[in-house]
Structure formats: C-alpha cells, structure tokens
Structure 1
C-alpha cells in the first residue's frame, strides 16, 4: 500500500509539472530523474555511483579542466599541493617486488630510528609487502597514517656480506613534499632552480633557495619550469614578487560571474630577492597553469628570456567546491590573463575531451616540437611587451623567445622497451647496493661524482644482459644509438640514490638541450640582444 501511494504521489507530481512544463527548473528536473531511478528502477541501484557519474558527465560537457573527484582522488590531488603528508619519511623504489629505501628525509621519523638507504622493508605491521606484487599505492597506504601514530616495519639489511632482519617502530610525522627539486650553482655566478609544482610551501622554498644561491655568489639565474604542470595560483604571484618590481601586475582573472581581479607583486621582505641580474626561464610543452602565469609575467615585463618550446596553454581558473563526504568538484570560474592581457588558454570545443587531450600529439605530428616555423601565430593576438615593446602572441600557451627543438636522436624502440620493463632502475639499485661504500669513498661530494664517474662498457653489458632476462632482446644497432641516453639516465639514478635528488639534475642538465641553450644564452651577448626594443 505504501509503495502504491508513493507511485501515485510521484505520478501526481509529474502530471502537475507536465501542465507547466516550460516552468520546471533544470536542477529540479535532475533531482526528479535521480529520485525516479532510485525508487522505481527494476534492479538495485548504487545511488552514490549514479550521482557521481551524473556529475562527471555534466562537467565533461563544459571545459576540459572542470572535474569531479571522489574522496580518495581528492586526497591524492590535494596532498602534493598542501606541501606535506603524514608518514615515515622515506624515498623508495620497488626493485624485484621489494621496497628498497633510496633515502630517508633528514630529521624525519625513519632517520631518527636508524633506517638507512639500501634497507629493504619486507613487512609493515602484520602485512608482508615483499614478493607479493603489492601496488605502490597499497604500500603507501600502510606506511602513511595520522601524525603521532606508530607503525612497525621489518627491514632486511645487508652488511659485511650478511643479511639481517631488523625490527623498527616508527612514529609517523608530517613529511614535507618539496616543490623545489634542485637548487645549485652551475658556475661561480650562475644559479639554477628546478621547480616541479606550485604548492602551499613554494614561496618559502624559493625564498630559501634564492638566499642560499646569493650567498654562494649568484649573479644570474636559470629557472627550470620544464614539465611543471602548475598547482595553486597564489604561489606564482608570490614568487613573481621576488623577480619583479613591487606593485607590478602579475596576472589578472576574469569570468562571467567573477569580476576582474588584479594580482599585484609584493616581495616577502623589504625588497625583491632577485629583481635584477640575468634570468632565463626553461619551459616545454608540459609547462602549464601557474608555470605559465610565472613565465608570462616575466616575458611581459621583459624581466628575462624564455627558452624551450611553446607551453601547454592552460589559462582557466578552477574553484574547488568540496562536498561533506570529502569529494570535490573543481569548476572553472574565470580565465587568467598575463599583464599584457594575453589569454593563454589554448582553443577547445566544449565536450570534446579527446581532441583536447591529443593536442600535444598533434603538435608532434605537425612538426611544431621540432621546427620553430611550424608554430602558427595569429596577428590579431599579437601584443607588445610592457617595457621594450617586443612583439609577443597569445591564444595558446607562452611561445619562447628562443626555441629549442625536441631531440629524439638517441631515443629508440630498444631504449623504450628496456625502460618500460624498469630494468634501468633495477640495475641502478643493484649497482648502488653493491658499490655504495666504495663510491662514497671515491667521490666525497656529488660534484666530485658528476665530474669523475662514468658509466663504462661493462656496466652497459650487464644492463643489456639484465634486460634480456626480462624479455627484451638486445638490438645492438639501437643500443649503440641510445648509448648516450642509457649512460646519462643510469649515472643520474646512481647519483640520486647515493646523494640526493639534485644530483640527478646535475647529471641530466649536462645532456638536456633546453638547459644547455639556457646556460649558453645567459652567458652570451645574445641575451641583451633579445631584450631590447625592436
């Protein structure tokens, strides 16, 4: 009887609304549809999944960056941008289904109890994690937890040719997620900063890096934003405050229901840390969002030279709308514009997510990543820089002042297959495991390592043999072609595992065409020739 009354009631409501069908609000129609499915559909319905699917589908009809994330996805999205998480404080790799500790966070929970680089964690609390093909995400869930909580780990440690099992109880604590991957002096006057994301702590990290480099004699800076996909917008404005004069327009945002808002530069201290001296910004096709805000303002104000390839072209501002269950909707509410008024957002068709996602592939196929003259500029989108009146363009990313083509000469199918099997990483871990003490004895610092260590032919032979065991047959011609790439990656990984993350970039940058051009240009009269009135 109750079911019958519900059906009658719902039918009466539909009949009443049908009589005034032009007046039904869209949101009411959506609620009615969900209620009808939940109450009358023939089979059992998962209402949560149904609603999530409806939200995702609705947002997919808008722009490419409005999106919904469930509670777990939201946590994973926010964690890197928050600047920290609660865990045990290690960097690790999985080597042959075993967790291998690369390094411990200085002063972190694992270092305090005596965990060492090279240790293998085989058990977390009551769960065996070695030899069971557990996913990295599942392992991290076991190692992470609330601040102050304890976790028991069993470690296999090899020393003096013997393997012992050591038990540790680690108290979890807040662990920083750094956005500055590397900061070092390239020579006695040139500093280098590699920034991987724009997070809540980026301003403090950049400030620390700039002060440290200036103490070491920095007079000019290479800022590496290659592959930096962005993050929060405010840190971009904040670090621009250290590169530009106070009171300069860094970026402005504007949308249909969002009035124009100007974000002005302001240094953290009394004056900017580096608002003079040569500045080169490295970018590529994956440099996006907040990275483009930073790059665009530096270019617009003629503060520095941009080197690399046209950036991604994400010029939309998302506002988070959190739900009580921990899920979140990120809705585009505005465009952002560089100080000259350039809209950096690349063109898109609403609802066509696939075409948007294929843009980088299309650039490759059309030759843009290899040839500067393949970039199509639209005269109607041309503007002039604010100090020197140099011509620059909007309408889809930031175009560099100096183009550097994508170099694929060393890339082969054999290299791709060896990398895909994880063989290079496995070999680096094994090599460091067997030679750590000797390498530390020979090379007291990572600079000594970068200058003095070479990957020799016997190491490559062992690498190729390991690849063959993993099912990748040796292709001698392709191996010779990819030899410089194999040597660079292997040396970088070994250096990283012995010293720290910056060591990898010290090795990689000697190989990287964008860095090499940035370094050449910052020490060349061409720098001033680019930054002058036309």
Structure 2
C-alpha cells in the first residue's frame, strides 16, 4: 500500500559544518538548562556517528572506484550502495528503485502498461508474485500469489534485480515470454503472450440468475479506482441491484487513499476505517466522512469476497467493512500485508520506496503475516489449486510421476475416468485421454503432449471458475432479507 510522496530532494543531506555546530552550541547556552545540554550532547553524538558512517562509505566507494582491478562505473557503485542499505532492512516492501522499476510502479498505479498482469516483488534472492490481475495472461495461465519465478526465457532469476526481471517480463504486445515457476516443491513452465493490462480496475454486472444482486470486481487500487467503483455502483443500481457482492480476491492492493474513499462509502460517518502507526508515535485514526466519500453512501446489503491474493489496500477495505459496518467476508484467509510504503523520488527518475508505518484494522489488530479470516470459509474445488503440469515433456502409458497424477486429477474433474489417480499412466488413463482428445478435436494419440495438457488445464480452469463455491456462498448471504 502506497502513500505517494511527490516532493523530490534536490540534493543529498549535507554533513553538519563546524560553524553550524558552533552556532547551535551558542543557541543552547542562551537557552540554558541541564536538559538542553543533554539534548545537545545527544545531537553531537548522532552527528559524529553519522559522519563516521558516511566517511566509511566514502572510503569504500573511493577504494573500489580507483583501485578495483578493472574499471567500474560510478553509477553501478552508487546504485549498489543505495540498494545495499535498503536490503539491510530485510523488508521485501522497501527498495531503491531504478528508472525502470520506478516507471513500472508508476504504470501500475496509473493502470496503463503492457505485460503479463502480475504484480511482483523481490523476496530475498527470488522474484515472487504477489497476485495476478484478473483477465490477464498471468491469471489465465493459472499463476498464483507466492509463486516464485525461477527463470524468464531460460535465464535464472536468482539474485537478479527486480528491475531486470520486470524488463524481461515486459515487452511488445503479442510477443511471448516463457516463465519457469516454482510453487511449493513443484516447478513448471508456462508460455504467456504479453498483452495490454486492463486500464479499468473495476468491473461489474448483475448476477445472471438473481438480477437484484450486483457483482463488482476490483482488480487493484489505482488512481481512479474509487471513481470507477462509485460509477459502477450507480450503474448497477439503475439496472436493479438491491444488494452487492464485492470481489477483492487476487487484488494485490495499491493506493491507500483509494481504499479510504471506497471504505467510507459503506461505513457510518465518524466510525474508524483505518489506523496508521509510525515509529514512536500514537496511531493516526482515519474515520469515515464526507471528506473521503463526498457524501456518497452504500446502504444496500453487501458481502466481500477475499482470498490469499487479497493484500494491502484490499485488506484495508475488507477489514473496515467487516469491523466497522458488520459486513461479512467470504472466502479464504487473505495475504497479510500490514505495512504502508511511501516513495521518495529523485531528480534522476529513480525512487526510494520505504516502509514508513504499519496499518491497523479498526479494532487495532495488526494483520501482517496473519491475514484476515473470512466470516464464512468457502473456496474453489481442490483441483483448482493443483500446480500446473510441466509441458516440457510428453507423458505416455507406463509412465509414473507426480505430473501424470495431476493430469489424472484434471481428467476426473472434467468427467473422464482415468482409473486410479495415483500417478501411474495405465491403459485406462490412455483410453480416457484419447476420449478427451477426440472430444476436443485433438490428435487421438493417447499421449499427453503440450497441446493436450494446455487444453486440459484450460477447460479445468474454466470449470473451476464455474464452480465458484465462495461466490455462491456470498450470493446466498446477499439474497438474505
């Protein structure tokens, strides 16, 4: 979650000069008092420690630039020093961002970019997916929160900077990128076609069977999300909506101000939406009111869907509605990101993204690494969470592997009978696969090649989406009087 700082420092902070210290000391003497002397002593100690640290950094920089056995650029040393300081925090949400990374973040916030549609972060030495955005190549390929991108087009991502990874993932619309993904103990490969990621962050429609229930899906919290959300609510009302299901699943978050504006629409004026606590300070309390929602309120019965990909601003919104408006949460436990980041831009178009505070739910809970628990637990069928099948090889009768077992599970889910789904590619499995290939106008080889596997996963994904138990549970609540 971001609080954008648009003030860029023109120059790096200067060291205190001797004259500054003398002037400060004279002012201290004029003020008088033992407490002031103690403060001055602490200030001097802090200055000395800072100067000592900066002196050591300068010495290392100079030694490397002038004496390293081969030439090294000043920019590389500078970026390394800045990144090193931030990495020392051990905080995956704080980073010194290059021009490319800065542009990537700004594109995400403005919701206008071309890529695969997955928000990624640097986690240790790995590139990790926070959440895929709905209706994007990443989502359609079955990528999920916490997936590790091990390779991009055959290049290892271990130890690679986030900017480098993003530059490799992005490219011209219509071109392909191959990702090797690790999910738990399994690895698999996916080929994705780059596309323009949807600019609109809120979509909605009436439920097909129950025309009085309006469904809204929020993919991320960008600059115009609250405005889009309000517009969609008004449209659905005109179409006859009397209650709402708001889908926050796989929403990786975004801008805090958008979450505040949207949550205030549902929360009674004066009630708490959010608490933000910075270091050594009491929590700042944000309360619902006209300053956020402009007087626009949603009084209709509402239910919110969450899952493991609901993070940051999506969790702020969901927690506010749950705790301050008694709105039920349906689904599975959310991601658990309870910190606030700010960006400090520099004149060379790089930025420092830094965690500046932790945010608390209205009742004062910190959900970091814990997540929000749903009021009603409901989820997709278990096969929807099965890891993808590795398409680098073809599987045939007689094979025994975990990949074969995954194929058998999907065949069963689609109504075919592959026999005992334990990973042995039996004659019965081959027969079931041939029938599947015939039904889908594929070569009836009885072998599971990449084309067959991709079709199998595509249809299983579609069936899982149609078997959305969480949505059905939310719909039931929305229809209650």
Distance 1:196 1:420 in 2: 34
Q: Residue 297 of structure 2: which of 270, 273, 283 is its match?
A: 273
Is the 8 Å Cα contact of residues 87 and 95 (structure 2) preserved in structure 1? Answer: yes
CA distance in structure 2 between the aligned counterparts of 1:21 and 1:84, rounded to whole angstroms: 47
* Aligned-pair Cα RMSD in Å: 3.9
3-state SS of paired residue (1:65): coil
Q: Deviations over 1:198-232 (max 9, x none)?
A: 00000110011000011111111111010101001
Determine the C-alpha separation between the residues in 1 that align with 2:283 and 2:109: 25
| Alignment counterpart, residue 320 of structure 1, candidates 343, 366, 369 | 343
Q: For the structure 1 residues 460 and 65, does the alpha-carbon distance in structure 2 shift closer, same or farther, using more than 3 Å as the test? A: farther
Alignment of 1:352-391 (within 5 A): none
User: Would you say the 8 A contact 2:245–2:303 is kept in 1?
Assistant: yes
1:139 aligns with 2:167: no
- Map residues 413-492 of structure 1 onto 2, 5 A cutoff: 416-417=389-390, 460-462=439-441, 471=450, 486-487=458-459, 489=461
Partner of 1:263: 286
For residues 350-371 of structure 1, give each alpha carbon's deviation from its aligned partner in whole angstroms, at most 9, with x where no partner exists: xxxxxxxxxxxxxxxxxxxxxx
**Is 2:353 aligned against 1:330?**
yes
CA 1:305–1:52: 2 relative to 1, 3 Å: same
Q: Which residues in structure 2 correspond to 1:85-484 (within 5 Å)?
A: 137-140=170-173, 177-186=199-208, 187-256=210-279, 260-267=283-290, 271-274=295-298, 276-346=299-369, 396-405=370-379, 407-409=381-383, 416-417=389-390, 460-462=439-441, 471=450
The alpha-carbon deviation at position 304 of structure 1 amounts to 0.8
Q: Which digits, 9 at most, give the CA deviation of each residue in 1:26-55, with x for residues without a partner? A: 233223321222123232112222222232
> How far off its partner does 1:465 sit?
6.4
The 3 A distance-change label for structure 1 pair 258 and 46 is: farther
Quote the offset at 1:242 in angstroms: 1.4
Q: Counterparts of 1:320 and 1:470 in 2: how far apart (Å)?
A: 47
Q: What is the deviation of 1:311?
A: 1.0
Aligned counterpart, 2:423: none
Following the alignment from structure 1 to structure 2, what is the Cα–Cα distance between the partners of residues 306 and 488? 26
Deviation at 1:190, TM superposition (A): 0.6
Partners of 1:70 and 1:23 lie apart in 2 by 25
**Aligned residue pairs: how many?**
323
* Structure 2 portions without partners, runs of 5+: 1-46, 118-134, 137-166, 176-195, 395-434
Q: SS of 1:25's equivalent?
A: helix
Structure 1: 5+ residue runs without aligned partners? Answer: 1-19, 92-101, 104-133, 143-173, 347-395, 422-455, 491-506, 526-534
- Distance in 1 (CA, whole Å) between partners of 2:61 and 2:446 is 53
CA distance in 2, matches of 1:141, 1:25: 53
Mapped contact 2:243–2:479 kept (Cα < 8 A): no
Q: 1:515 aligns with which of 468, 471, 481?
A: 471
Distance 1:78 1:420, change over 3 A: farther
Q: How far did residue 136 of structure 1 move?
A: 7.0
- TM-score of the superposed pair, with normalisation by structure 1: 0.53
The TM-score normalised by the length of structure 2 is 0.58
* Larger RCO (CA within 8 A; separation ≥ 6): 2
Counterpart Cα distance in 2 of 1:303 and 1:179? 25
1:185 Cα deviation from its structure 2 partner: 3.8
Within 1, Cα distance between the matches of 2:99 and 2:174? 15
Distance, in Å, in 2 between the alignment partners of 1:318 and 1:209 is 29
Alignment partners' CA distance in 2, 1:204 and 1:321: 26
